[in-house]
Amino acid sequence: MSERVIEVVAGVITDKRGRILLSRRTPNRDMPGLWEFPGGKREAGETPEAALARELDEELGIRVTVGAPLITVPQQYPSKRLRLDVRHVVHWDGVPRGREGQALAWVASDKLGRYSMPPADLPVVAALQTPDRYLVTPPPGDDDAAWLHALDDALRAGIRRVQVRLPGVPDDRRRTLLQQALARCHRRDARLLFNGAVEIALAAGAGVHLTSTALHDHADRPVPAGTLLAASCHDARDLAQATRIGCDFVVLGPVAETDSHPGQPGIGWTAFAQLRETCAVPIYAIGGMMPNDIPEARRHGAQGIAAIRSLWSG
């Protein structure tokens, strides 16, 4: 992967109804007919903000104020590598129109998934729709009430995606804990995934989080559409398998050294971004992550972070 990286900028333009503007790629471009967030290539010497303002004027005829970064997506295509730098557009003047013959569509955020997009745009959709923190629970120990209280604290703090791990917990106790955790998540409109047997998760009404070993036990998606499926990944082989069976998202790492594995260095952000290039599945960075690492994670193509200790108060 030594070829030159093409620097691309794109904007999330939102109207007063909260709809997001998409642009359709014209027949004379690669990947014709796919929808994307409007933008274009950065020229040499341009800042991302200046490049995006220029591109949106040229493509749409609007003048914009560029806001905060949303996510940067490194992506490998068969014939090129690019880095897509996506920014929020906080203000715009004019009426957007397809000045280059492209179709435009205003789309509700929760309907973005209905539009076919290039691989680099898919993590952008996930960044707009999904939580930026994925809590991984520690084992409950001997005090179920304290464990559930800590889960309540995390949900009150804004956690909306939870992976429950109950290794070695007897069946009856596991069933009770899982149901109690699900009830708490439902009250907070949070999604829960169980790290364990698929049949146990489905019987409880939970999503499924596969270990990196269990990931390779499946030739097809093991859960129905609408049930969340995630997996733990450590390398390109894992990411390819997660893509093959239709995982909704994955965790990738460890990025940094963790307390649970002292002395074992993480893969680092450079290697993380290189792996990010190889797939379009939404990815959370895991391994030594703190909430203040979320901006750095998003600069390297992650949706956010997955963590135990930094997201758990128990």
Binding-site residues for Mg(2+):
39, 59
- Which residue type sits at 95? V
Q: How far apart are CA 211 and CA 64, in angstroms?
A: 44
Q: How far apart are CA 159 and CA 157, in angstroms?
A: 6
Residue partners of 89: CB distance under 8 A and separation at least 6: 11, 12, 13, 14, 52, 56, 64, 65, 66, 67
- As annotated, the binding site includes 25, 36-39, 59
- As annotated, the binding site for 8-oxo-dGTP includes 25, 36-39
Q: How far apart are CA 175 and CA 165, in angstroms?
A: 12
Q: How far apart are CA 148 and CA 7, in angstroms?
A: 46
Q: Where are the beta strands (DSSP E) in 142-235?
A: 161-165, 191-195, 207-210, 229-233
Residue partners of 206: CB distance under 8 A and separation at least 6: 164, 178, 182, 192, 193, 194
Q: Where are the beta strands (DSSP E) in the chain?
A: 5-12, 20-24, 35-36, 39-41, 63-77, 80-93, 104-107, 133-136, 161-165, 191-195, 207-210, 229-233, 249-252, 283-286, 304-307
Strand partners, 64: 92
